[in-house]
Amino acid sequence: MDTLLQQINTTAAYLQQSGYHHAKVGIVLGTGLGELVQHIQVEKSIPYQEIPHFPEATVEFHKGHLIYGHIGTVPVIAMQGRFHYYEGYTMQQITFPIRVMKALGIQSLLLSNAAGGMNPGFKKGDLVLLEDHINLQPESPLRGLNAAAYGPRFPDMSCPYNKRLGALLQQVAADKGYMLKTGVYVSVMGPNLETRAEYRFLRMIGADMVGMSTVPEVIVANQLQLPCAAVSVITDECDPDHLQPVSIEEIIAVAGKADEKLSGIFAGVVAQL
């Protein structure tokens, strides 16, 4: 485990030397969600493959760049694309950037994702603030980490999403005339989408939307005592009784249409942090 700490320190030092310093907010941009970059006064942008110990984004619609710049006067670090378990990475690789951003000084974390909506009240293009989650990923990103430098081994998860950040997201959304719904997100392994029976099961256990990311990063953020909030863009409607085939291209297209709204909300929140 010392190796992981060494990798975090090495990567953080490289990024500091490259100008990634004094960042206040970290941002993870999910599938089809990259418009926020238009709100950032970009000062640095490095491809993941050039950053020591960073995984490489293998999903073609994730640009795979780590950006440093300002939204207003607030310094931010933004991930253009994330890593997923289905790509073949370990949970510690997936969440490595969160630990690095925390080492670089971020004080808040905002995450976005594309998700399938199982709640009948959710429609394509809706924005949903995560109020809780269900973790159905095959392992925890904290597995095997037993050193104080990583944070508490048994972090409390009774309130994984920061209420102040959530309230601020809702306030900014309302000010812009957007509706920000709330719901429970379930994270599954992927990369296949779900069957009708699986949608029924996930709905029965309390989930409103389903995706393949976010939860591992939120678990690590909580271990690091890093306040976080997350918003899903509903990209397809997962009614098992009227289920229609959906392609990843359709999901990307729907996410792209909602991206301008979500990016405006995130930019408005960051400006107030």
Angle at which helix 2-17 crosses helix 91-103, to 10 degrees, equals 50
Whether the predicted pLDDT of 59 surpasses 80: no
Put simply, whether the predicted model's pTM sits higher than 0.75 gets the answer yes
Whether the predicted pLDDT of 201 surpasses 60: yes
Whether the predicted pLDDT of 1 surpasses 70: no
50: confidence class by pLDDT, cuts 50, 70, 90: very high
Report the pLDDT value the prediction gives residue 31, as an integer from 0 to 100. Answer: 73
d(CA 186, CA 42): 33
Q: Which of 96, 123, 114 is nearest to 59 (CA)?
A: 114
pLDDT digits (tens, 9 = 90+) for 212-253: 999 999 999 999 999 999 999 999 999 999 998 888 888 888
Question: Does a cis peptide bond (omega within 30 degrees of 0) precede residue 191?
Answer: yes
Whether the predicted pLDDT of 271 surpasses 60: yes
β-pairing verdict for 228-237 and 108-117: parallel
Report the pLDDT value the prediction gives residue 230, as an integer from 0 to 100. Answer: 98
For the chain, first and last CA: distance in Å? Answer: 34
pLDDT digits (tens, 9 = 90+) for 99-130: 999 999 999 999 999 999 999 999 999 999 99
Domains detected in the chain: 22-257 (3.40.50.1580)
Whether the predicted pLDDT of 207 surpasses 80: yes
d(CA 147, CA 2): 9
Whether the predicted pLDDT of 269 surpasses 70: yes
pLDDT digits (tens, 9 = 90+) for 63-99: 789 999 999 999 999 999 899 999 999 999 999 999 9
Report the pLDDT value the prediction gives residue 131, as an integer from 0 to 100. Answer: 98
Whether the predicted pLDDT of 60 surpasses 80: no
The rounded percent of the chain whose pLDDT value lies above 70 is 97
Q: How many CA atoms lie within 13 A of 173 on its CB side?
A: 21
Find residue 80's DSSP bridge partners. 29, 65
Report the pLDDT value the prediction gives residue 253, as an integer from 0 to 100. Answer: 86
Buried-exposed string 94-115: b where 16+ CB fall within 10 A, e elsewhere: bbbbbbbbbbbbbebbbbbbbb
195: confidence class by pLDDT, cuts 50, 70, 90: very high
d(CA 48, CA 29): 14
